Amino acid sequence: MEQQQQWRKLNGERISIPIAEEVTNVLVRESETGHELKVCIGTDSQVKGKVTEFATVIVFIRKGKGGFMYIHNETTTQKMSIKERMLTEVAKSIDIAYTLCNIFSRYSVDMEVHADINTNPSFKSNDALKEAIGYIMGMGFVFKAKPDAFASSSCANKVVQ
């Protein structure tokens, strides 16, 4: 049996139902209130000693009316190169995007996958850019990298502990 990921809101409130069910409820509620939504999914990570923590976020943007997000944190002691870590971030984002994409399609909500990868070749994370672009676009998702990848480089960055 698949282990359910533990998601929470920014205020710390834990989500007790599967994230797909929560997202469906959000889309119904937001649609009923007349909000036009866009969703951005991204992951960031931070290495602290022997532990790497990942934070994946689902950011809902109410066009012209602010937004909100859901957060999932996870840690590993697996040692990774910077390229492996960047591609693991992308894989985590794609995993949740793939889980939710049919729901977003059903409600006509645009979705982007954001990668915390620098487009400037002088940054180490740039080594993973080609693979990340191929991976994300190969799955049929819209891709954004730094500086346009705010879901990963700003939102997830703030909640990676």
Three-state DSSP class for 152?
helix
Site of tokens 């994409």: 101
Over residues 16-35, the pLDDT tens digits come to 999 999 999 999 999 999 99
Q: What kind and span of H or E run contains 85?
A: helix 82-106
Determine, yes or no, domain membership for 2.
no
Three-state DSSP at 126 gives helix
CA–CA separation, 49 and 95 (whole Å): 26
pTM for this prediction: 0.91
Answer yes or no: is 118 within a domain: yes
Q: Is residue 3 very low, low, confident or very high in pLDDT (cuts 50, 70, 90)? A: very low
Domain assignment present for residue 16? The answer is: yes
3 within domain boundaries? no
Mean per-residue pLDDT of the chain: 91
**Tokens standing for 88?**
């693991």
Domain that holds residue 103: 8-159
Residue ranges with strand state E in 35-99: 37-48, 51-62, 67-76
What's the number of domains the chain is made of? 1
Examine the pLDDT at 45 and tell me if it is beyond 80: yes
Confidence of residue 7 (pLDDT cuts 50, 70, 90): very high
Tell me how far apart the alpha carbons of residues 125 and 153 are, in angstroms, rounded to a whole number.
12
Note whether residue 1 is domain-resident: no
Q: Which band of pLDDT confidence, cut at 50, 70 and 90, is reported for residue 15?
A: very high
What does the pLDDT look like over 61-119, one tens digit per residue? Answer: 998 899 999 999 999 999 999 889 999 999 999 999 999 999 999 999 999 999 988 88
Task: Look at residue 24 and tell me if it is in a domain.
Answer: yes
Helix (H, G, I), strand (E, B) or coil at 142: strand
pLDDT of 4: 62
The residue among 30, 47, 49, 48 whose CA lies nearest residue 39 is 30
Per-residue pLDDT band at 1 (split at 50, 70, 90): very low
Q: Where are the beta strands (DSSP E) in the chain?
A: 8-9, 37-48, 51-62, 67-76, 110-115, 142-145
